[in-house]
C-alpha cells in the first residue's frame, strides 16, 4: 500500500479501476498516515456490479446448496490462515487493538461456519393430505441480488453477518464497505478471488453515499442489509422500501448497564470498563450509561474510575495497549464536545480523557477513557449516541426506576444488569425494551447462531443479521399445493 494507491473494485471476478472523480484518503487513526485512497464509485459502476450479479444469479441458484457451501468451507480455511494479517489491517485502518481485531475476525469466521449449515437451515416443510389426496409444501428460494452496506467500526465482521448466508442461499452479492475502512474488504476479496466462485457471484464496490443510494434505488437489487447510524438506517429503510426491496437496517445505540448493590463490584467494574472503553467505545454494544441503584452508587463509581484511569491507550499494534484511537479527527472533536456539554449540563467529570498526549502518536485521534458522574437522565449527554470512550453515571433508588429510565430511551440495542439476584435478573430481561440483554455480561453480543437483535431506533425491519434470521431474510418462501388423482396412475 502507498499513499497514492487507489483501491480497486472487484466486479465479475476482475479487479477494476474506478473512474470516480473523487477519492478519499484512508488514514491510520493512530498516526494520521495516509495508507491508500478510496474511490467514491459513481452510480454507473454500481449499476455494472449489480448487472453482473444479476446475470450470475440463474446459474448460482441452480448450483446445489451442498456445492455452494463448499466455497464457504474453503473461505473459512483461508480466513483462519490469514486471520493475523486481516486483524492487523483492521487495527491500522480502524484503530482498535490487535486483540479486538482478532476477536472481530473470529466472529466473522463463526458466521461462515453457521452458514455452512444452509442445507439444513434452508429446508422447507411438507404436509401430506391437507385435504384428501392433496399435499402442500413450502420451499425456500433465493431472493436475487443482495446488497450489503456496512459501517466503519467492524470492517471485517459486519459484512459476514450477511454475506455467507446470502451466498449459501443461492443469492449473488454486492458489498459496499465503509469508505473510512475499505482495506479490510480488499483483503477479504483477495481471498474470495482464490476460491473460484463463478464470475459475478460476489462483487465489491467502494464508495460512499452515492454508491449506497445507487444500491437502494437499483431495480435489480432485491434486498438491502445495512448497518450504521440511526439517521442513515432510517433513510436506507425508507428509500429502499420505495422500490419494493426487503430491508434489514441496524442503527445506532445508547446502551445502559444497571448495577444493583448486590453485584460483585470488582467483576462489575472490570466488565463494565471493557464494555465502555473496549474498541474506544466505538461499538454498537458499548456501555454508555451506567445506572447505579441504591448503595451501588459509591462502590461502583470508585472501582470504575480506577479501571478507566489505568487503561493503557495507544496504537493498537503496540504491546500492552488496551485501547486505541477514535476513527477520525471529527469524531474526536464530537466526543470531546459532548464531554464539554455534559459538564455544562451539570455533570461532574470524574475521569477526564480530553485532549490527551500519547507519546509517539501526537497526530492520532485519541481521547482517553472518561467518566461523568451525576448525569441528568434528561440531558443531551444522556440521550445522544457518543460513540467514544465515555461513560455517564446516573443514580436511581430502585430497579423499577432503572427499567423505566431505560424504556424511556429511543434506542433498544442492548441493556445489561449486574446483580446476584435471579429474581431481579428475570424481571430485567422480561421488562426491558432492548433486543440484546446481558446479565453479568458487559457486551451481550449474540453468537452467530442467534440473531443480532436490536429494537426501537436501533433497528428497522423484521429479520436481523446472523443465524436463522439471515436464512429467512435471504430466501423467499414458495408454497405449493398439489393433487395427483389416483385414477391418473398407470400400471407399470
Ligand atoms: P454511517 O451511518 O455514517 O455509515 C454507514 C454506511 O452508510 C457507510 O457505508 C456509509 O458510506 C453509508 N452512508 C453514510 N451516509 C449515507 C447517506 N446519507 N446515504 C446513504 N448511505 C450513507 O455509520 P458509521 O459512522 O460508519 O458507523 C457507526 C454507526 O453504526 C454507529 O451509530 C453505530 O451504533 C452503528 N452500528 C450499529 C450496529 C448494530 O448492529 N446496530 C453495529 C455496528 C455499528
| CATH number of the domain bearing residue 240 | 3.40.605.10
pLDDT category at 103 given cuts 50, 70, 90 is very high
* Angle formed by the axes of helices 65-81 and 83-94, nearest 10°: 70
- Is 149 a pocket residue for ligand 1 (Cβ < 6 Å)? yes
pLDDT at position 486 is: 86
**Owner of C-alpha cell 482517553:** 368
Rounded CA-CA distance 146/215 in Å is: 9
| Residues 344, 195 share a domain | no
pLDDT at position 359 is: 95
Closest-lying ligand 1 atom to the alpha carbon of residue 208: 11
Q: Ligand 1 test: best mutation among 107, 232, 237, most atoms within 8 Å of CB?
A: 232
Residue identifier of the C-alpha nearest atom 11 of ligand 1:
208
pLDDT at position 3 is: 83
- Is 151 a pocket residue for ligand 1 (Cβ < 6 Å)? yes
Instruction: For the chain, report the end-to-end CA distance as a whole number of angstroms.
Output: 70
Report how far ligand 1's centroid is from the alpha carbon of 232 (Å): 6
Q: What domain range includes position 104?
A: 9-251+458-479
Residue 284: pLDDT over 80: yes
Residue 234: pLDDT over 90: yes
Answer whether residue 417 is part of any domain. Answer: yes
Rounded CA-CA distance 462/454 in Å is: 10
Neighbouring CB atoms inside 10 A of 428's CB total 24
pLDDT at position 473 is: 98
CB-CB contact of 12 with 200 (8 Å) = yes
CATH number at residue 299: 3.40.309.10
CB-CB contact of 41 with 106 (8 Å) = no
Beta bridge mates, 291: 258, 394
- Is 16 a pocket residue for ligand 1 (Cβ < 6 Å)? no
pTM for the structure as a whole: 0.98
Residue percentage of the chain with pLDDT more than 90: 98
| Residues 313, 233 share a domain | no
| Residues 368, 230 share a domain | no
| Residues 348, 246 share a domain | no
Q: Spell out the residues 6+ positions from residue 160 whose beta carbon is closer than 8 angstroms to its own.
A: 107, 108, 109, 111, 112
Residues noted as catalytic: 284
Q: How many domains does the chain have?
A: 2
Answer whether residue 486 is part of any domain. Answer: no
Report how far ligand 1's centroid is from the alpha carbon of 246 (Å): 18
Q: How far is CA 15 from the centre of its chain?
A: 26
| Residues 371, 233 share a domain | no
Residue identifier of the C-alpha nearest atom 23 of ligand 1:
228
CA nearest to 35, candidates 68, 61, 5? 5
pLDDT at position 280 is: 98
Q: Averaged over 378-385, what is the pLDDT?
A: 97
Q: Averaged over 400-415, what is the pLDDT?
A: 98
- Is 446 a pocket residue for ligand 1 (Cβ < 6 Å)? no
| Residues 117, 220 share a domain | yes
Residue 180: pLDDT over 90: yes
Rounded CA-CA distance 104/300 in Å is: 29
| Residues 280, 144 share a domain | no
Average of per-residue pLDDT values in the chain = 97
Answer whether residue 445 is part of any domain. Answer: no
Residue identifier of the C-alpha nearest atom 26 of ligand 1:
151
Residue 26: pLDDT over 90: yes
Residue 407: pLDDT over 80: yes
| Residues 462, 434 share a domain | no
Residue 27: pLDDT over 80: yes
Q: Averaged over 11-25, what is the pLDDT?
A: 97
- For the chain, the C-alpha Rg in angstroms (whole number) is 24
Tens digit of pLDDT for each residue in 409-459?
999 999 999 999 999 999 999 999 999 999 999 999 999 999 999 999 999
**Which three three-digit cell numbers place residue 372?**
461523568
Tens digit of pLDDT for each residue in 150-162?
999 999 999 999 9
- Is 188 a pocket residue for ligand 1 (Cβ < 6 Å)? no
| Residues 314, 180 share a domain | no
pLDDT category at 23 given cuts 50, 70, 90 is very high
Residue identifier of the C-alpha nearest atom 6 of ligand 1:
151
Residue identifier of the C-alpha nearest atom 21 of ligand 1:
209
Closest-lying ligand 1 atom to the alpha carbon of residue 231: 2
Residue percentage of the chain with pLDDT more than 70: 100
CB-CB contact of 93 with 33 (8 Å) = no
Residue 196: is it exposed, middle or buried by C-beta count within 10 angstroms (0-12/13-18/19+)?
A: exposed
Answer whether residue 487 is part of any domain. Answer: no
Tens digit of pLDDT for each residue in 33-72?
999 999 999 999 999 999 999 999 999 999 999 999 999 9
Answer whether residue 4 is part of any domain. Answer: no
- Is 255 a pocket residue for ligand 1 (Cβ < 6 Å)? no
Residue 353: pLDDT over 90: yes
pLDDT category at 203 given cuts 50, 70, 90 is very high
pLDDT at position 425 is: 98
| Residues 397, 312 share a domain | yes
Report how far ligand 1's centroid is from the alpha carbon of 90 (Å): 17
Residue 17 DSSP label: -
CB-CB contact of 312 with 378 (8 Å) = no
**Which three three-digit cell numbers place residue 344?**
455544562
Report how far ligand 1's centroid is from the alpha carbon of 151 (Å): 4
| Residues 286, 208 share a domain | no
- Could you write out the DSSP letters of every residue in 445-488? PPPTTS----EETTEESSS-SSHHHHHHHTEEEEEEEEE--GGG
| Residues 262, 123 share a domain | no
pLDDT category at 4 given cuts 50, 70, 90 is confident
pLDDT at position 2 is: 79
pLDDT at position 488 is: 87
Amino acid at each position: 500500500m502507498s499513499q497514492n494507491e487507489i483501491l480497486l473494485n472487484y466486479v465479475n471476478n476482475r479487479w477494476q479501476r474506478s473512474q470516480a472523480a473523487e477519492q478519499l484518503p484512508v488514514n491510520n487513526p493512530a498516526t494520521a498516515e495516509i495508507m491508500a485512497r478510496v474511490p467514491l464509485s459513481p452510480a454507473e459502476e454500481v449499476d455494472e456490479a449489480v448487472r453482473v450479479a444479476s446475470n450470475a444469479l440463474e446459474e448460482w441458484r441452480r448450483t446445489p446448496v451442498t456445492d455452494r457451501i463448499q466455497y464457504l468451507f474453503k473461505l473459512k480455511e483461508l480466513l483462519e490462515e490469514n486471520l493475523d494479517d486481516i486483524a492487523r489491517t483492521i487495527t491500522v485502518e480502524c484503530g482498535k487493538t490487535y486483540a479486538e481485531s482478532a476477536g472481530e475476525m473470529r466472529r466473522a469466521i463463526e458466521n461462515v461456519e453457521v452458514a455452512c449449515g444452509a442445507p439444513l437451515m434452508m429446508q422447507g416443510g411438507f404436509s401430506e393430505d391437507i385435504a384428501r389426496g392433496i399435499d402442500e409444501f413450502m420451499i425456500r428460494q433465493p431472493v436475487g441480488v443482495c446488497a450489503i452496506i456496512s459501517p466503519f467500526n467492524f470492517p471485517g465482521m459486519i459484512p459476514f453477518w450477511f454475506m455467507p448466508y446470502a451466498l449459501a442461499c443461492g443469492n449473488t452479492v454486492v458489498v459496499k464497505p465503509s469508505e473510512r475502512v475499505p482495506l479490510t474488504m480488499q483483503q477479504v476479496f483477495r481471498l474470495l478471488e482464490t476460491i473460484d466462485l463463478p464470475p459475478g457471484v460476489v462483487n465489491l464496490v467502494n464508495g460512499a453515499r452515492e454508491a449506497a443510494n445507487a444500491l437502494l434505488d437499483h431495480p435489480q437489487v432485491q434486498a438491502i442489509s445495512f448497518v450504521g447510524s440511526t439517521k442513515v438506517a432510517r433513510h436506507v429503510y425508507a428509500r429502499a422500501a420505495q422500490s419494493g426491496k426487503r430491508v434489514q437496517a441496524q442503527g445506532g445505540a445508547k446502551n445502559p448497564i444497571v448495577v444493583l448493590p448486590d453485584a460483585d463490584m470488582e467483576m462489575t467494574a472490570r466488565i463494565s470498563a471493557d464494555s465502555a472503553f473496549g474498541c474506544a467505545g466505538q461499538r454498537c454494544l458499548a456501555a454508555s450509561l451506567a445506572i447505579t441503584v441504591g448503595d451501588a452508587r459509591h462502590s461502583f463509581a470508585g472501582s470504575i474510575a480506577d479501571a478507566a484511569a489505568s487503561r493503557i491507550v495507544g496504537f493498537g499494534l503496540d504491546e500492552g495497549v488496551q485501547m486505541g484511537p477514535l476513527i477520525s479527527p471529527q469524531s474526536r472533536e464530537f466526543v470531546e464536545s459532548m464531554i464539554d456539554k455534559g459538564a455544562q449540563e451539570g455533570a461532574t467529570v470524574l475521569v477526564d480523557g480530553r485532549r490527551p498526549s500519547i507519546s509517539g502518536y501526537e497526530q492520532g485521534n485519541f481521547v482517553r477513557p472518561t467518566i461523568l458522574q451525576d448525569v441528568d437522565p434528561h440531558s443531551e449527554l444522556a440521550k445522544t449516541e457518543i460513540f467514544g470512550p465515555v461513560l455517564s453515571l446516573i443514580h436511581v433508588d430502585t430497579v423499577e426506576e432503572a427499567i423505566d429510565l431505560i424504556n424511556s430511551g429511543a434506542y433498544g440495542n442492548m441493556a445489561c444488569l449486574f446483580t446476584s439476584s435471579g429474581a431481579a435478573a428475570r424481571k430485567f430481561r422480561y421488562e426491558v425494551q432492548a433486543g440484546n440483554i446481558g446479565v453479568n455480561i458487559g457486551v451481550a453480543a449474540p453468537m452467530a447462531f442467534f440473531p443480532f437483535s436490536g429494537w426501537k431506533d436501533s433497528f428497522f425491519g423484521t429479520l436481523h443479521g446472523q443465524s436463522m434470521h439471515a436464512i429467512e431474510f435471504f430466501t423467499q418462501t414458495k408454497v405449493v399445493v398439489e393433487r395427483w388423482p389416483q385414477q391418473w396412475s398407470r400400471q407399470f
